Amino acid sequence: MIKKLQLLFIVAVLLLSIFVPHSTVLVKAEEKAKQLQVNKSLLSMTEARDVTVELDLGYQADLSKLQWTFGGKPLKEWKKWNNEKGDFTGDPYITFKEPPQYIEGTNKIKATLHFDLLFGTNDLSPRNIRVKYPPFINNYELAVTDAGKGTKANASLKLNVYDSYRKYEEIKPAIDQIFKDKKPNRYAEYQSIGKTVEGRDMHLVVLAKDKAAVDAYLTKTLPLALENPEQLQQDIQSGKLKNYQVPIWFNNIHPDEAPGVDALVDLLQQFATKDTLSYKTTDVNGTEQTVTLDVNHALDNFIFVFNLAHNGDGRVHNTRQNANGFDLNRDNGNQTQIESINVTKEIAKWTPLSFLDFHGFVKGFLIEPCTPPHNPNFEYDLLIDGMIDNAYAMGQAGVANTAYEKYEIPALDYKNGWDDATTAYTAMFAMFHGALGHTIEIPDLNEESNKALLYAGLGAVKYALDHKEQLYMNQLEIFKRGVNGEDNKAVDQWLVNQEGKVIGRDRGENEKFFPDYYVLPVAKSLQKNALEVYNMVEYLIRNGIQVEQTTKEAVIDGVKYPKGSFIVPMHQAKRGLANAVLSDGEDVSDWEAMYDSVITNFPDLRGFNRYEIYQQNAFVNAAQPVEKVNKPAVDMKRKVKTYVVHNTNNDAVKLVNELLAQGKEVRYVNQNKLGYRKGDFVVKYADLLPLSHKYVVDAKPYPGKLLTKKLEKKTIAATGSMASRFVLKELGFTVAPATESSIVFDDQGKAKIEKGKTYIFSGGGALKSIKDQNIIPGFEFGNTDFYHEGILKMNVTPNQTYTSGYSNQEWIYTASGTWVKSLPQEAQVLLQVSNEGEFYKAGWWPGKEQVKGQVMAFSWQKDGYNVVAYANDLTFRAHTQQSYRLLSNAIFANSLK
């Protein structure tokens, strides 16, 4: 009965609504929410603004009883940031500049609200502020309410960081709008060049005169430039090739340096929608002048490439790092992160003439080129012939059109500490492709710095337009030196030591700096880690390096290189990049300051053998190009019950962890016998077979006469860096909180040592923590500086599960300038720096002589404590993959049943 009455009531209400006039309903709604008129609807956290408000409630309300709210909060509750207390308890953020009053003879109320600087500054670049602003970016309701009568007037205001700021989610719609608004005679192409760690699109836009210009560059001009640059030079000089376009690349890699992203979108909008762009600059005498850039003329000469989301996850989370916790501007050479792989592949594809990477924040408005030491693999004399003047052009435009009064060029204004000795930075990485590579560091995080980048970009385009042939001839000359195998001594004058003395390229006992070939064999007789050779070849190919594979055996200097060996012919356009990643690197320890790590050296840090050949045409008619790497499957021809998987590469670790995750049995070899070693793994044939094509491992039929123990799957706690967590997961380990794990890995010194658990420590900070906790009696460590690095020759203690798979002597990397000075007697030494004269190969380590002969790693167990400690850095930037098995060995050795 009740349900029937409820149904009748609903029907009655619906019928009543049909007969009630719609205008009446609308009037009542209007009375509840009236329009609030505002003279501006965009607010800025970095610029104080006054907003004039007008409203008409339809009657004369008592002004003293009106409630003013912003975002649902009374105005008085909005407070500015209190820098001393670190919270929002400062002065009022919103005040009345002109209090509410009626416009004479009307019911209209007028007032002016003052929105001050939310953080008390017009520069949000300080890191303690930079992480605070994202939650405040929003649309807010500004409302005036007469609670007594239930009337309200409102308007929506957007609070942004600065006017041009765009969230990641707003970038693609902005691109779409630019495409709609662009001049009809221009070609614009959008590409997602891949996905970020969290699956976001990496936006890249190509803007050109037309598609034919893009096709001509990629299929004709660039291939000729790389294969026969001298011919292209002649074609240009003779006038045979008149109309050609080359790329200029605009980039941002640190999205929390926010204007770098927004300036890219603004530049794209300007070039896509305008015919002319005018801006101010100054001449050599400092006299201001106006420049007009003809965009159509610029597009007759250039293709613009905009990388708008190098680190999309970082833009979402407002972090410098990507979602894995890696600074991508330290990963361009290493390429351990998917974003780096995607972008560097595109850089190789486009091989830009000019590369501009927008950064912040240096108060002097810094524009590269850099201080020494320079990477010796650059043809620096040709690059610098344009980079200084290009920096001037950018700086003059950036200053003339903004409130900034100066800019600085490290090459001219700094003594050291802002070098380009590394392969890590994006702009420097582009220089290996012959580009003028510039990092531009704006002073502030606000609209003014956004403008500074925009005008710097215009200045760079204008400079390239005025000097295109000279700049392109220089780039082609770089390629020509490579193709011809020329070691030009003009580079030497730019390579100096700390005292400014010219030292030139280190040619050692060779007549020339670059070898004629690198050989990367995969045969066991010459190679300790074939897996990393295959990975290296993949790396080289995607970075535009020519790789070949031998079609027959070759004997050179008494060494037999078997058929199937990979070779990198160094008479090629981009030999500098090949040499930068395959050579030993440089010892720059005499310098007082270096900006960051300088070592790339894949052979030592990834752990494979490569051979230098100084003999022209050594492999002529004996090799063919490689376009794709085919990794070999495990030989499973013998169908025996079990196989031994040798613990010689990281794929062996991944394989074992996948089997353990599947609940399969894996046993651990506990003796050295018959060519097998402690730390090898025993698995079942049936379990290995499905994975035989997934992993490159050295596996043999199991003889059944080895002592083994069962290996248990355990969770591992990573209490240190994000890199340590990334590496553990990459190797297939399960990472869990320390409370749920019996094994703890710490590379920063955060773990508190307790009885009953295994602690694996790595790096200088971790050793300091061991000392500070004072648990290991007699333990002392030495350190020069936690930023010192080097590749050290180390003696490896044999017959140890902790060092399984390593030779008795290895070159091993460290990044924190630390060693072990003393240990208790019961400790077991695992690694010790060689006492030989040549104990140090490359890096930056003033005072490195102190580490000679010192202990670098040990294990210690006593009274329920279990510690394995490495002074060297096992997981540094995920590039030290040669050292990963030191970590996995320690884990597996403490996971036996």
Q: What digits encode the pLDDT tens for the residues 802-846?
A: 999 999 999 999 999 999 999 999 999 999 999 999 999 999 999
Catalytic positions, please? 441
| pLDDT, mean of residues 517-525 | 97
| pLDDT, mean of residues 708-727 | 97
The predicted pLDDT at position 14 comes to: 36
Q: What digits encode the pLDDT tens for the residues 494-503?
A: 999 999 999 9
CA gap 516, 514 in Å, rounded: 7
- CA–centroid distance for 479 within its chain: 27
Stated as kind and residue range, the H or E segment containing 781 is strand 780-783
| pLDDT, mean of residues 306-334 | 98
| Amino acid residing at 632 | P
Q: Decide if 526 contacts 515 (C-beta within 8 A).
A: no
Strands (E) across 77-150 are located at 94-102, 108-115, 138-146
pLDDT band for position 398 (50/70/90)? very high
Stated as kind and residue range, the H or E segment containing 661 is helix 650-661
pLDDT value at 403 more than 60: yes
CA gap 729, 680 in Å, rounded: 21
pLDDT value at 418 more than 90: yes
| pLDDT, mean of residues 579-592 | 98
CA gap 41, 18 in Å, rounded: 38
The predicted pLDDT at position 285 comes to: 82
pLDDT value at 560 more than 50: yes
Q: Decide if 892 contacts 790 (C-beta within 8 A).
A: no
Q: What digits encode the pLDDT tens for the residues 757-798?
A: 999 999 999 999 999 999 999 999 999 999 999 999 999 999
Q: For the chain, give the number of residues.
A: 897
The predicted pLDDT at position 19 comes to: 32
Place of tokens 């005040």: 95
The predicted pLDDT at position 305 comes to: 99
Q: What digits encode the pLDDT tens for the residues 143-153?
A: 999 999 999 99
CA gap 654, 817 in Å, rounded: 30
CA gap 151, 161 in Å, rounded: 32
| pLDDT, mean of residues 357-369 | 98
Q: What digits encode the pLDDT tens for the residues 696-710?
A: 999 999 988 889 999
| pTM metric for this prediction | 0.94
Q: Name, in order, each residue with C-beta under 8 angstroms of 499's C-beta and a sequence gap of 6 or more.
A: none
CA gap 892, 804 in Å, rounded: 11
Q: Which residues pair with 281 in a beta bridge?
A: 289
The predicted pLDDT at position 284 comes to: 78
pLDDT band for position 28 (50/70/90)? very low
Helix/strand/coil for 765: helix
| pLDDT, mean of residues 509-536 | 97
CA gap 400, 463 in Å, rounded: 16
The predicted pLDDT at position 545 comes to: 98
Strands (E) across 174-315 are located at 187-195, 201-208, 246-251, 276-282, 288-294, 302-307
The predicted pLDDT at position 861 comes to: 97
Instruction: Tell me: cis bond preceding 361? Omega within 30 of 0 counts.
Output: yes
Helix/strand/coil for 803: helix
| Distinct helix (H) and strand (E) counts, the chain | 24, 44
Residue of 563, 651, 588, 613 lying closest to 789 (CA atoms): 588
The predicted pLDDT at position 33 comes to: 63
The predicted pLDDT at position 11 comes to: 36
| pLDDT, mean of residues 711-737 | 97
> What mean pLDDT is reported for the chain?
95
Q: What digits encode the pLDDT tens for the residues 53-106?
A: 999 999 999 999 999 999 999 999 999 999 999 999 999 999 999 999 999 999
Burial class, 528, CB count within 10 angstroms (exposed 0-12 / middle 13-18 / buried 19+): middle
Burial class, 618, CB count within 10 angstroms (exposed 0-12 / middle 13-18 / buried 19+): buried
